Homo-oligomer: A and B are copies of this chain.
């Protein structure tokens, strides 16, 4: 026995339509009616049924967020912010599992759109760069926000930090400390950030006239182990780097483990920098110098989608957030 709009209307002595109008804050409702309706709502503890609202096809008040198989620390934090913004705006956040393989076709997204009718999508990397998904969403006319996109930045609401600049700045900071041989460990190729960060790294070297050395660039996959492996390789070279900039925090800690195994001290023998500033960055020892992702501000992506939903506009927008370099114990001038 749930209370419906009808009950409210009956108690207020008005029609259901008037009640609906009050609920939606529409114009053309007298103050007297507004008041009576509000009284009835409070008295009855009435809440609108999301399903009935969504059925007529207009809006579902659902925002869909496909989540990758591995959730890095900062994404969990982002979700926290996103879900709060959604609720503040009266939307609900539905998370969907996202199998990297099958999502390449966009089919799972199409299925979700058809059955769930979400009002918008929140795309995290690496999905924010999946063109099949973007095409599917565009075709269905469903607005979306993309977190940290690296391709076709003119599509959807984009929220990102200037990864190139961030990586450049961090590399430049290492150069400022006096390092000249600086290693870099990249991320997986399907993750756009990998390329941006590498670009920033090279840019900084070029600016300072330090010759790039391909032997100092290694590939990883954003996981600890790959940092360990790549770090061991870089640090075992005869002319080993005095600093290593890893594409994310996890890999930086992998390098730290490798360094320990090789009997090298951090930052005494080798300085280390990461990217993301996840929880582990400040829990490690020594604490990790890294680039802080503006996680809280990223949640504005949720607001961006909702704004698109409510305005009906599909204009692409782009918001560039400020990153910050966080200097901690893992970096020091070279010996």
Contacts and interface: CB of A to CB of B under 8 A. Distances in A.
Interface of A: 2-3, 45-52, 54-55, 60, 62, 67, 69, 71, 73, 76-77, 79-80, 83-84, 87, 92-97, 111, 114-117, 224, 250, 253, 256-257, 260, 279-280, 282-285
A46 B114 CA distance: 8
Nearest to A80: B71
Contacts of A76: 71, 76
A244 to B, nearest CB: 16
Contacts of A83: 67, 95-97
A51 B280 contact: no
A216 to B, nearest CB: 24
Contact of A2 (B50, B67, B114): B114
14 contacts: A2-B114, A3-B114, A45-B114, A48-B115, A49-B55, A71-B79, A71-B80, A73-B73, A94-B95, A224-B279, A250-B279, A253-B283, A257-B285, A284-B284
User: Which 10 A/B pairs are nearest by Cβ-Cβ distance?
Assistant: A47-B114, A51-B54, A47-B115, A76-B76, A51-B55, A84-B97, A253-B283, A83-B97, A71-B76, A51-B51
Contact of A94 (B94, B224, B279): B94
B60 A51 contact: yes
A114 B46 CA distance: 8
Contacts of A250: 279, 283
Contact of A285 (B45, B96, B260): B260
A279 B283 CA distance: 11
